[in-house]
């Protein structure tokens, strides 16, 4: 058994299924060339996987079928390694809070920097950018929850942020009908006061979109908390901005919701 093999076993015995290249080099005292050769060998044997250059996951036998552990077990140390704050949100967060319709085929992370997504084994990670100023205001303990795994804790958007993120990044949340289903499933769990406070850091049109969907799914208290944002609006916005009318004149045929100042250019359906 090689030195790197023994190091992996030691890490696992301490409950750590990951390490950085720098940590490995320091622990083993080997040359960079020897370390790279050993890491390449163990990657081919499916004992190691690398989601980002210089950061390694140690694969236990039960992880090898999927090609990597569930990202919830290593997203926190990976983001700490990269020096970037984060929160798990959108479909994965919705599923965590009980939106059982959301078969989260993608692990979505919101971050204040543009990051390229990647596939590792059977897992797909997608990073969604939020402007740093808004991110810094929102990514605070009061707005966040934690997902626990045997490897520790990972930051997840609270219910209120999950709803607002889904309304803002609806194209990443299975479209407007996907968002409607999340709102239907989770709306009652949102604290109206916290929802309104967090909404101050989102675009007004996104907040109105969420308010309309809360109304449509009979979450009256939560919808009422967002009504002041609709009263501030200066113009009508489409419920679904991704839908483009074939002719400008056809836009006039759509129903308009005066309360939320939205053009209802897409019918909303949920699995009740």
CATH code: domain of residue 45:
1.10.10.10
- Chosen domain end from 53, 69, 85: 69
Domain extent, residue 64, equals 3-69
253: number of Cβ within 10 Å: 9
User: pLDDT at position 1, please?
Assistant: 56
Q: What is the pTM of this model?
A: 0.91
Q: Do 98 and 149 fall within a single domain?
A: yes
pLDDT of residue 192: 98
- Which of 44, 69, 94 corresponds to the end of one domain? 69
| Residue 181: predicted pLDDT | 93
> Do the domain assignments include residue 43?
yes
Cβ–Cβ contacts within 10 Å for residue 1, how many?
Answer: 7
The reply to whether 85 and 196 lie within a common domain is yes
Q: Cα–chain-centroid distance for residue 118?
A: 14
Q: Are 124 and 107 in contact (CB under 8 A)?
A: yes
Domain count, the chain: 2
One domain, residues 154 and 82 = yes
pLDDT, residue 249, reads 45
154 within some domain: yes
Angle between helices 204-216 and 159-168 (to 10 degrees): 110
Block mean pLDDT (10 aa), the chain, length 272: 86 90 90 91 92 94 87 94 97 91 80 96 94 96 90 93 97 91 96 97 96 96 97 90 61 77 84 62
From the number of C-beta atoms within 10 Å of its C-beta (0-12, 13-18, 19+), residue 246 rates as exposed
- Name the token pair of 254: 């759509």
Same domain, 45 and 90: no
250, part of any domain:
no
How much is the mean pLDDT over the chain? 90
């Amino acid at each position: 058994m090689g030195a790197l093999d023994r190091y992996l076993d030691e890490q696992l015995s301490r409950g750590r299924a990951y390490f950085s290249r720098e940590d490995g080099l320091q622990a083993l005292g080997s040359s960079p060339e020897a370390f790279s050769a050993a890491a390449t060998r163990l990657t081919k044997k499916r004992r190691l996987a690398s989601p980002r250059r210089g950061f390694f996951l140690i694969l236990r036998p039960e992880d090898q079928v999927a090609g990597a552990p569930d990202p919830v077990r290593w997203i926190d140390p990976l983001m700490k390694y990269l020096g970037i704050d984060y929160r798990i949100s959108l479909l994965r967060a919705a599923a965590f809070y009980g939106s059982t319709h959301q078969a989260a085929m993608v692990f979505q992370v919101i971050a204040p920097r543009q990051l390229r997504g990647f596939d590792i084994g059977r897992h797909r990670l997608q990073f969604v950018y939020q402007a740093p100023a808004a991110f810094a205001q929102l990514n605070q303990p009061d707005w966040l929850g934690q997902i626990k795994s045997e490897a520790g804790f990972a930051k997840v958007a609270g219910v209120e942020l999950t709803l607002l993120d889904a309304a803002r990044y609806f194209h990443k949340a299975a479209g407007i009908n996907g968002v409607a289903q999340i709102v239907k499933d989770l709306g009652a769990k949102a604290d109206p006061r916290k929802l309104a406070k967090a909404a101050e850091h989102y675009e007004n049109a996104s907040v109105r979109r969420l308010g309309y969907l809360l109304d449509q799914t009979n979450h009256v208290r939560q919808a009422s908390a967002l009504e002041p944002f609709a009263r501030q609006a200066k113009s009508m916005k489409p419920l679904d901005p991704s839908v483009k009318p074939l002719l400008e004149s056809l836009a006039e045929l759509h129903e308009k919701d005066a309360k939320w100042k939205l053009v209802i250019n897409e019918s909303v359906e949920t699995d009740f």
